[in-house]
Amino acid sequence: MTKPCIICVAITGSLPQKSDNPAVPITVAEQIESTHAAFEAGASIVHAHVRNADGSPSSDPEKFARLKEELETHCPGMILQFSTGGRSGAGETRGAMLSLRPDMASLSVGSNNFPTRVYENPPNLVDWLAAEMRAHEVKPEIEAFDLSHILKAKDMADQGHLLGTPYVQFVMGVKNAMPVDRDVFYYYIHTVKRLFGPDAPWCAAGIGRHQITLNEWAVAAGGHARTGLEDNVRLDRDTLAPSNAALVRRVVEICARHARPVATCAEARQMLGLRTTCLADGKAA
Ligand SMILES: [Zn+2]
């Protein structure tokens, strides 16, 4: 298996706090430093949320704008993916940063349960977010918390509501949503290939201690991998992850074991069908 593996680093999220792990980047300055180290370690996508000074989640487009500007300077060529996830705001505020034209944005296309609440993604909001992404040429990453979300992405793609082939990310291990189940994982892959073609790229994310499991499964099965402190703050039961970069290095090691090169930013852009106007790529092939 020689297809390069795209490593996405989810640096902050909307839940983990400094009290969970002091390495969680909260301010934009911390986010830049943490992303840069992860970029140097091999990440080609950064998935970002922004926070208020007190650590609470924010959807403030001004913070996203600062983050984007700084990342473009310090991590040239890296793919910027902003979260439109439901924890960081209600309704259309979740997509207020899409006019900044990040390369990508996460898009949840259906509702499901989260540990203590319903993750609400009503159809009219999903359609509005997809339309905004299309208008601003932002490629969605479909967050599949359930099989039905993959089929919903197919329906949206058929209607011309998504830009290009959907890039689906399987999310497993969120309490009260889809658990880490190997048969379901392989059926997800089967479904993506059936609906979007045998070469359609896909990615997987595991939550908490399942992060490493999903990294292993995805790399071994020819998919792409997501890591980062948003999903998991530990290296193992007794050790906090010292940084986002440390979690990226863990995936790089898995790639080496499976003889998969780590994708450069340019390779990742090409595989995902993204804008390639950015000439600078900070990493060697
Ligand atoms: Zn997120």
Q: Report pLDDT for 89.
A: 61
Enumerate the domain spans of the chain. 7-272
Determine the average pLDDT of the residues in 210-218: 98
**Of the candidates 71, 264, 45, 223, the residue with the CA atom closest to the CA atom of residue 139:** 45
When pLDDT is averaged across residues 49-69 and rounded to a whole number, the result is 95
Q: Are 267 and 10 in contact (CB under 8 A)?
A: no
In the reported structure, the alpha carbon of residue 14 is separated from the centroid of ligand 1 by a whole-number distance in angstroms of: 7
The amino acid that residue 255 corresponds to is C
**pLDDT tier at 91 (50, 70, 90 boundaries)?**
confident
Domain 7-272, classified CATH 3.90.470.10, yes or no: no
**Averaged pLDDT, 56-78:** 96
Q: Give backbone dihedrals phi and psi of 145, rounded to 5 degrees, phi first.
A: -90, -5
Q: How far is the CA of 283 from the centre of ligand 1 (A)?
A: 25
Q: Rounded to whole angstroms, how far apart are CA atoms 230 and 266?
A: 25
Strand-pair partners of 50: 58
Give the angle subtended at the CA of 154 by the CAs of 153 and 156, to the nearest 5°: 65
The pLDDT tens digits of the residues spanning 120-164 come to 999 999 999 999 999 999 999 999 999 999 999 999 999 999 988
Rounded to the nearest angstrom, the distance between the alpha carbon of 186 and the centre of ligand 1 is 23
169 pLDDT exceeds 70? yes
Distance CA 222, CA 49 (A): 27
* Contact status, residue 244 vs residue 27, Cβ threshold 8 Å: no
Distance 36 CA to ligand 1 centre (A): 18
> Residue 235 and residue 206: Cα distance in Å, rounded?
13
Question: What pLDDT was estimated at residue 281?
Answer: 45
* d(C-alpha 165, C-alpha 139), whole Å: 9
Query: In terms of Cα–Cα distance, which of 202, 230, 199, 204 is closest to 217?
Result: 204
Q: Which helix (H) or strand (E) holds 202?
A: strand 202-206
223-264, pLDDT tens digit by residue? Answer: 999 999 999 999 999 999 999 999 999 999 999 999 999 999
- Segment 178-205, tens digit of pLDDT: 999 999 999 999 999 999 999 999 999 9
pLDDT averaged over every residue in the chain: 94
Reported pTM: 0.95
Query: Above 90 in pLDDT, residue 285?
Result: no
How many other C-beta atoms are found inside a 10 Å radius of the C-beta of residue 225?
29
Q: pLDDT digits over 11-38, tens only?
A: 999 999 999 999 999 999 999 999 999 9
Ligand 1 centroid to Cα of residue 141, in Å, is 11
Whole-number Å distance, alpha carbon 10 to ligand 1 midpoint, is 6
Q: Does residue 284 surpass a pLDDT of 60? A: no
pLDDT at res. 87:
65
Could you tell me the distance, in angstroms and rounded to a whole number, from the CA of residue 203 to the centre of ligand 1? 14
- Greater confidence (2 vs 270) lies with 270
Q: Is the model's pLDDT at 275 over the cut of 90?
A: no
Mean pLDDT, residues 69-98 taken together? 89
Residue in this structure with the two tokens 């497993």, named with its chain if needed: 172
pLDDT at 282 over 80: no
Which contiguous run of DSSP H or E holds residue 141? strand 139-144
User: Residue 261 contacts by C-beta under 8 Å, 6 or more apart in sequence?
Assistant: 2, 4, 5, 255
CA of 84 to the centre of ligand 1 (A): 8
Task: State the residue for tokens 């990508």.
Answer: 104
